[in-house]
Structure 1
């Protein structure tokens, strides 16, 4: 899940122009040697063990120090990473590793190391939240150190068995034997190694000069590659904007009103890119009002989703067409025509028919129980989400619903979702690059036994997913898309808007994949 939400991962690639308004190679944007690149992150990443990481802010930090077996390019093509080649079958993929890869402690990366990562994540005792999500359910690994290969297999054919490897950070070296080292340290083969961790303030990384196995063979020897990267915790977007303008930051992402200020500031390189959906889920536990699909649909009809989209995004959003981030493996619109349309009168009639009648105070009740919704949302997403929560509360109040707003920080939101379950509706973006990565969140065992935090039980979704999973990726795409639409038609979750972010840079250029900077693409620039 996205930090700023529940599940992690990656989104569309963007390349920023040089922060002084030129382009790399021009007088105002020529590569500068070495230096320090400072990037704002919106919260503390917490524990740095890749096996336990579900927050995108954590993964954006881990991306500095860890590699994956393969990588996904901007057009969705699979390119090399730790593996130089691969052989794909319906239920298995065999990777041949590069022979020159070393861990940050100098030890060589072996197929056995890769297999140990998979075994650790899939071990029930680990209770890894990425097992069955980023890591396919039932994944097994078989290493052949002599041949330099590792085979990943699933119990039955799995559509995206190759592409899923791009989401699994590989631990190596000392961290394999002692995972406690990963609480506040890193042990990876990535282009940088963590040298200082000050929780709540900053995380400092130092370049590995011998690194030569990045995406598509990227190295750290390109002119302008920074010697040091500082991931600085900046909780307030206005502060981040001020630091960018003053030169205290080289990069940041902004969701809210300060975007306009940066767009008008000379010397700031910037691009706008999609960044996951604004959406909300209904808790369908046995004792919850939204267990009844008629109630879910009525609550959805009570809300003008177009107006809500503008409120949530501050007018910077785009129409939402699906759940998966760019570059999507399956193209098409799964949303239009499948979400219950806005109709306040129909919503009121449906709630009446479901037995929820208005009392003297205007609040509906059934069998002596008031129709109360506890609306959970993360305060780290900025003022737009707060405004969206208030908009929802007002729309539902008019429909006769009592709404209790609960804005919390990301870690508290994760606790509420997965432990205390003290919510009825949650505003929660889930950022994934493969439709298969959604399955554990949207079906199967409910928390705490599984990742299905909303207790969704959609038989049509489950049937279509089972059929799609058994087919090769592109062949299964129509089924994956029908499965998404089934969720919307049943009001299991309500997509509202495709959020966008302003990715801004000063005195530097870089590519960003979702909210993760690709470290081998960072270039410090001169002349600003």
Structure 2
């Protein structure tokens, strides 16, 4: 079966997102809700939507077959009921659902949305991430059912459906309409797209199939998503009332946290973590070296630096609401002990040279540390902290910062790194396996050349079990990675989700579109 493309790694890094809601007083009717986007979403075709900002925009106009509750429980969406077998799930669709252009939403529309992504000719970067590799869809329009099937048992056959936007109406036959338009059954329809400036949506008053019976009756008349790349500017606009909502990552959030006129909520935003390159010719190919390097770092102090003091302890690799609850990190990482790290490096044959840099067989212990400069001051400071900690241990460290595209190229094609700070945000553990096992880059998506047999064995076992039954093995598989120091989870990042004169909910970086309300007294 086809593995996720290595280029999709950047997609995973950018899919990390916030969950939660804001509330701002008594409900008002009509009007315009204005929200800040940190960047332009680019092409709006759901089959090509790899950036978190793209999927934020799409979530206003498109529905999914099912949703996840805050606790991770699957609840109805476009599908009213479903029947699950180990390798398939059959959905019975709601009646009376229509697309924004008035066309009825059909089972064939759902099947076409899945099969288009799975078609190799599409070259969809979300194939293997949102649509599992090997998935096929069959529709029965007369019965109003859609069957999603896999070539073998798959744990999250049901849960994966919550990430697939369903295209309907004219967009099914002419995908070119989706480059700068929408064709979905969601509560809003796109009416104007001005790249790098704003995207305007109008409410669908006929919408009546939202989560828990939500309708379009009380939605704002208009939603404007305004591109505001500068967080200081977004903060100023929110305080002044020009914006109703924004999600803030950096230091400007402190101003809003102290402002009683702004409603806010601190919510998770994915993980800060680093990987060791385990290629045959790399120092970290030796597990003793990886563990020693990890022991040389105070991970608790590093977490505070990387998140600028706004993070939480890392508990796993999968974002909330995740299907398998629990902490896979605590107790599974080498503890901070600089003296033990030095002894372990000595035992591994890396002895201090004349200039203090460790040497083995005439080769200096050198690490090229790769990170994205676009991830904020915290990541830059974290890279510098790692460099300082490893230099104390006798390691020559070369910092290599770059923009996202450059980091992706270095990770996959150039392979010119030894340690990389790579944030990954996924909602299902199965979405990680192509990146944590299998062929190494550039032949496969396994950019760090990981080869953890225990992880692979546990994943193979878990993948054949229904999601709930497989959770123990999925959780154990993550811990196996940490115990082997294959990758080191450092911190769970957070963002400030803020609003003024409005209330809205987000989940996994997507709007719960039917929740958007303007409020009085904002």
Q: 1:8 aligns with which of 1, 5, 15?
A: 15
Establish whether residue 131 from structure 1 lines up as the match of residue 132 from structure 2: no
**1:199 aligned partner:** 195
**1:189 aligned partner:** 185
CA contact (8 A) 1:5 1:410 kept: no
Q: 1:50 aligns with which of 38, 46, 50?
A: 46
With over 3 angstroms needed to count, the CA separation of the structure-2 counterparts of 1:3 and 1:145, relative to structure 1, is same
Q: Secondary structure at the match of 1:102?
A: coil
Counterpart CA distance in 2 for 1:3 and 1:234 is: 22
Q: 2:463 aligns with which of 452, 466, 469?
A: 469
Question: In the TM superposition, what are the counterparts of 1:451-466 in structure 2 within 5 Å?
Answer: 451-466=445-460
Establish whether residue 327 from structure 1 lines up as the match of residue 334 from structure 2: no
Q: Which runs of 5+ in 2 are unaligned?
A: 1-7
Counterpart CA distance in 1 for 2:248 and 2:263 is: 13
Counterpart CA distance in 2 for 1:114 and 1:282 is: 40
With over 3 angstroms needed to count, the CA separation of the structure-2 counterparts of 1:226 and 1:4, relative to structure 1, is farther
**2:3 aligned partner:** none
With over 3 angstroms needed to count, the CA separation of the structure-2 counterparts of 1:186 and 1:449, relative to structure 1, is farther
**1:428 aligned partner:** 422
Q: Which runs of 5+ in 1 are unaligned?
A: 19-28
With over 3 angstroms needed to count, the CA separation of the structure-2 counterparts of 1:217 and 1:279, relative to structure 1, is same
With over 3 angstroms needed to count, the CA separation of the structure-2 counterparts of 1:502 and 1:495, relative to structure 1, is same
**1:17 aligned partner:** 23
With over 3 angstroms needed to count, the CA separation of the structure-2 counterparts of 1:55 and 1:357, relative to structure 1, is farther
Q: Secondary structure at the match of 2:462?
A: helix
Establish whether residue 242 from structure 1 lines up as the match of residue 249 from structure 2: no
Counterpart CA distance in 2 for 1:374 and 1:172 is: 48
CA contact (8 A) 2:16 2:270 kept: no
With over 3 angstroms needed to count, the CA separation of the structure-2 counterparts of 1:449 and 1:110, relative to structure 1, is farther
**2:113 aligned partner:** 117
- How far off its partner does 1:126 sit? 2.9
What TM-score, normalized to structure 2?
0.92
CA contact (8 A) 1:2 1:431 kept: no
With over 3 angstroms needed to count, the CA separation of the structure-2 counterparts of 1:198 and 1:422, relative to structure 1, is farther
**2:5 aligned partner:** none
Counterpart CA distance in 2 for 1:205 and 1:409 is: 31
**2:494 aligned partner:** 500
Counterpart CA distance in 2 for 1:5 and 1:474 is: 24
- How far off its partner does 1:335 sit? 0.9
- More divergent stretch after superposition (238-247 vs 98-107): 98-107
Counterpart CA distance in 1 for 2:56 and 2:45 is: 13
Runs of 4+ in structure 1 off by over 6 angstroms are: 1-4
Q: Secondary structure at the match of 2:401?
A: strand
CA-to-aligned-CA distance 1:17-53 (integer Å, 9 cap, x gap): 20xxxxxxxxxx2222222222222223233222233
- How far off its partner does 1:410 sit? 3.5
**2:357 aligned partner:** 363
Question: In the TM superposition, what are the counterparts of 1:150-189 in structure 2 within 5 Å?
Answer: 150-189=146-185
CA-to-aligned-CA distance 1:178-227 (integer Å, 9 cap, x gap): 334333333322222223333333322222232222223322212xx222
CA contact (8 A) 2:17 2:270 kept: no
CA contact (8 A) 1:6 1:54 kept: no
Counterpart CA distance in 2 for 1:384 and 1:336 is: 23
Establish whether residue 141 from structure 1 lines up as the match of residue 137 from structure 2: yes
With over 3 angstroms needed to count, the CA separation of the structure-2 counterparts of 1:424 and 1:202, relative to structure 1, is farther
Q: Secondary structure at the match of 2:301?
A: helix
With over 3 angstroms needed to count, the CA separation of the structure-2 counterparts of 1:67 and 1:347, relative to structure 1, is same
Counterpart CA distance in 1 for 2:485 and 2:452 is: 10
With over 3 angstroms needed to count, the CA separation of the structure-2 counterparts of 1:210 and 1:50, relative to structure 1, is same
CA-to-aligned-CA distance 1:354-391 (integer Å, 9 cap, x gap): 44444444334445554333333333432222211211
- How far off its partner does 1:506 sit? 0.7
CA contact (8 A) 1:69 1:83 kept: yes
CA contact (8 A) 2:10 2:408 kept: no
Q: Secondary structure at the match of 1:510?
A: strand
Counterpart CA distance in 2 for 1:179 and 1:401 is: 52
CA-to-aligned-CA distance 1:250-295 (integer Å, 9 cap, x gap): 1112233222211111210011122222111122334433233222
Q: Secondary structure at the match of 2:266?
A: strand
**2:4 aligned partner:** none
Question: In the TM superposition, what are the counterparts of 1:82-481 in structure 2 within 5 Å?
Answer: 82-222=78-218, 225-367=219-361, 369-481=363-475
**1:518 aligned partner:** 512
What TM-score, normalized to structure 1?
0.91
- More divergent stretch after superposition (32-41 vs 401-410): 401-410
- How far off its partner does 1:460 sit? 0.6
CA contact (8 A) 1:134 1:168 kept: yes
- More divergent stretch after superposition (156-165 vs 403-412): 403-412
Counterpart CA distance in 1 for 2:416 and 2:99 is: 42
CA-to-aligned-CA distance 1:438-467 (integer Å, 9 cap, x gap): 222212233445432322221111100111
Q: Secondary structure at the match of 2:122?
A: coil
Counterpart CA distance in 1 for 2:304 and 2:148 is: 44
Counterpart CA distance in 2 for 1:217 and 1:59 is: 23
Q: Secondary structure at the match of 1:6?
A: helix
